[in-house]
Amino acid sequence: MRQQHRLLPYVAGRSVRHRKTDYGTIILHWLFVAAFAVALLSGLRIATESPDRTWINLFDVFLPRDSVWTAHMQAAVVLVAVTLAYVVYVIRSGLGRRIQLDGVRLRGLFGRGQSRLSAINACLYWIFFVTMLALLASGGLLYFGLYSGYDVAMLHWVGTWVILLFAVLHVVTQYKSGGASQLLRIFRPAPLPAPPQQLDAVELLNLLVEQQAAHPIQPRYDPDIARATEPGAAPREKPRKAKSKNPTLQANAFVVAAAAAITGASFIVAADRMSGDHLQIHRINSQEAPTLDGDTSDRAWRSVKPFALIITTFQFDKSIKIGFDKFQVKIVDFKPFGQREGEILYFVFLTLINGCEVNRFFRFHL
């Protein structure tokens, strides 16, 4: 009997309908997957510098070797942009029901079948949202140096593995919900279905009036109606649909989401460039050339404002503290008299290691 039920669509000459997903969700989904993959691989390469995570070297063949920091930062910007786009897209497209976590969904956790899977999916989504927000926030704190201590670094590290665990559970729950067809729908784009219109009380009353006029309950003679139906009488005006009290911009949801993503990413890039320091090389004459004797009281060093390279300290764990409490550099250069080419650069690195000042001097001839 079960086999006959499975073969019934084919015997009747009907084809099984393939499930599809709106193209906006598909684009944002795969943009996120690609950006997170880049951030994960580059982040693991960065984490290999920690002495207690040498096991990551087992995957050395899969990890990038060049432009690791640049790739990690660029992937982070894309993740922020996709996050903004997804929030706007869900709100504009009316797809909030798929991630809504209300009392009905929570009670579904104790149910059976699809209601339970739907509730589990909603809970997983919100765990993912909170974890992703923590990842982006902790990454921003580490990058801008606002708080780059052990706690934030561990939050960033643990959040990464929570996202990976979510990916596995997400695939399993989707497969349980609809099998392979449910998984393959992320590869089958479709137009965004129109969201249901909100109930308008004025429009509802107009519909009731029209329905009552078309199908009166107790038809009876009315002089006013008789006059209105006489030949030559003015036609009755149809009730106008009430306009929404809160008109919104009627635009494609994905276009609005893309505009929000581009705006957010542009803001982050602009803030990064404006907050960055610029290293300046000061030109001096040959008489002001400093002496590399370990003393920074020379006139050339005193007239130069130091450039801070590292301000905060990075901790691998609570007991090991690696890095500089203060790391500044001063650079001056001059062109020797009588030489057409070549310049001499003088560097001094002002460093505090465990509260002790250590200065290093270098000279380079270009």
Give residue-wise pLDDT tens across range 140-161.
988 887 777 788 989 999 999 9
| pLDDT tens-digit series, residues 302-332 | 777 777 665 444 444 544 444 444 566 777 7
Q: pLDDT tier at 221 (50, 70, 90 boundaries)?
A: low
Contact, 315 vs 321, CB < 8 A?
yes
CA angle 326, 140, 42 (to 5 degrees): 90
If you average pLDDT over residues 236-248, what whole number do you get? Answer: 47
Residues 20, 14: Cα–Cα separation, whole Å: 18
CA-closest candidate to residue 126, choices 186, 182, 170, 80: 170
The SS3 of residue 73 is helix
pTM of the model: 0.66
pLDDT score of 299? 80
Contact, 196 vs 94, CB < 8 A?
yes
Percentage of the residues of the chain whose pLDDT score is greater than 90: 32
| pLDDT tens-digit series, residues 47-98 | 888 878 888 989 989 999 888 999 999 999 999 999 999 999 999 988 888 8
**Residue for token pair 């400093």:** 290
**Residue for token pair 């057409």:** 340
Residues 33, 42: Cα–Cα separation, whole Å: 14
Q: pLDDT tier at 247 (50, 70, 90 boundaries)?
A: very low
Contact, 19 vs 175, CB < 8 A?
no
The answer for residues whose C-beta is within 8 angstroms of residue 283's C-beta and 6 or more apart is 332, 333, 334
- Alpha helices, DSSP H, located in the chain: 2-11, 23-47, 68-93, 103-108, 114-144, 150-184, 201-214, 223-228, 253-275, 299-302
Structure tokens at 354: 């465990």
Residues 17, 6: Cα–Cα separation, whole Å: 14
Residues 222, 227: Cα–Cα separation, whole Å: 9
Percentage of the residues of the chain whose pLDDT score is greater than 70: 70
Q: pLDDT tier at 250 (50, 70, 90 boundaries)?
A: very low
Q: pLDDT tier at 170 (50, 70, 90 boundaries)?
A: very high
The SS3 of residue 290 is coil
